[in-house]
Structure 1
Amino acid sequence: MNANTRTLLILIVVGFGMLGLGMSSAKIYDTFCKITGYGGTTQQAEENLSEVIDRKVTVKFDSNVADNMPWVFKPQQKEMEVQLGQSGLAYYTVKNESDHPIIGVANFNVTPIKAGPFFVKTDCFCFTEQRVEPGEELPLPVLFFVDAQMDEDKRMDEVKEITLSYTFFESDNQAQQATETSGSNAEKTLN
């Protein structure tokens, strides 16, 4: 094998490697953020095993919907004060103002970004897609705690407030599920 052929093969392998990395980078980045809390990504846990300590933080709640999504989405409380390690239960409300069912998925983050690794959700509407019928209004709970280990991190000494923010988007599965639903309805009509 001559030098030109070897160089060509190396460039082809590198090119395919870069293409593969580019195609999977969003999933890799999402996994990285979930593990490290980078970018304000919160943590998830099955239950709260954190010790409750005296230090308190105020958790503020924010809500948004993607452009052209006919939902009204609001927190039921603007803020709540919790002790580190103490479980908190907050509710958001969503209403579908369209004339057809919509499946939504919520993305979330916290600010300040450095608080992400300490903000832990044990149950959240954001873990699954939400199907909301026309005119339907639903309460959406989120059960969370701020890990007491935050008190041991000197970078977190000035953090007195944490904002939990959600943005709802239409699910990528929207078109597929709409087709399945209309097919199911056609079958019911025939029977």
Structure 2
Amino acid sequence: MREETAKPRNNGAVVLMCLAFVFGMGAMSFAAVPLYRIFCQVTGYNGTAQRVDQYSNVILDRRVKVTFDANVAPGFDWSFTPLQKSVSPRIGETVQVMFEAKNKSSEPLRGQAIFNVTPLQAGAYFNKVECFCFTETVLQPGETLEMPVVFYVDPEFAEAEETRDINVLTLSYTFFEHTKPVAGKTTASDKSNS
């Protein structure tokens, strides 16, 4: 009886395939957050408001109440508040509201706000023309800054099955410290490296 000999494995090819798999999974994990953010912005999923460059040209007689919520991440030494608790614009009407941030620390701090709209199904109809959340904000020690948000609720909000019975929306922000250091500010890692 003749014995069959096993073909030798090409270990180099197996190692390359494993490395390619690990690299691919790493790349996917880094891409997941930006891709999810884009998905939410395009679809309004998870209460993400839409960013637009133009105002609505249709204004309905129906009004919707929009309330405002402002928060600061734990450990971030800012105060952050809406200057109005709520507004009641007509659907399609462009409105500007103001928020105020103050750096309570003794050094410059850089922050950026994230936002959402509740009820979540209303996010696709909440359109922002201008918002401080589109860019990062740097405040010097003790500095106070008023920041505008310009928005409107899309007229399709009144007709959509999932939103036609909603009369109150909440625009909520949370400010986080931006991880990139402010020019001239010394961080704990800078001190440990010197």
Residue aligning to 1:150: 157
- Structure 2: give runs of 5+ residues left out of the alignment: 1-6, 187-194
Alignment of 1:60 onto 2:67: yes
Q: Hey, which of these two has a bigger chunk of helix by percent?
A: 1
CA RMSD between the two structures: 2.1
Do the aligned residues in 1 keep the contact of 2:110 with 2:182 (CA within 8 Å)?
no
* Bigger Rg, structure 1 or 2: 2
SS in structure 2 opposite 1:156?
Answer: coil
1:177 to 180, 183, 192: 183
SS in structure 2 opposite 1:178?
Answer: coil
Alignment of 1:17 onto 2:24: yes
Do the aligned residues in 2 keep the contact of 1:50 with 1:147 (CA within 8 Å)?
no
Work out the CA distance in 2 between the residues paired with 1:3 and 1:110: 60
Residue aligning to 1:40: 47
Alignment of 1:121 onto 2:128: yes
SS in structure 2 opposite 1:47?
Answer: coil
SS in structure 1 opposite 2:26?
Answer: helix
Shift of 1:50: 3.9
Do the aligned residues in 2 keep the contact of 1:50 with 1:148 (CA within 8 Å)?
no
Shift of 1:60: 0.3
Change (3 A) 1:139 1:5: same
Do the aligned residues in 1 keep the contact of 2:117 with 2:169 (CA within 8 Å)?
yes
Residue aligning to 2:171: 164
Question: Percent of aligned pairs with the same residue?
Answer: 38
2:142 to 114, 135, 147: 135
1:169 counterpart letter in structure 2: F
Q: Which digits, 9 at most, give the CA deviation of each residue in 1:135-175, with x for residues without a partner?
A: 111111100000001122111122111100111011122x2
Do the aligned residues in 2 keep the contact of 1:94 with 1:139 (CA within 8 Å)?
yes
Q: Which digits, 9 at most, give the CA deviation of each residue in 1:111-148, with x for residues without a partner?
A: 01111110000011111111111111111110000000
Q: Give the TM-score, by structure 1 length.
A: 0.85
SS in structure 1 opposite 2:184?
Answer: helix
Residue aligning to 2:36: 29
Shift of 1:70: 1.1
Work out the CA distance in 2 between the residues paired with 1:140 and 1:119: 19
1:70 to 77, 81, 88: 77
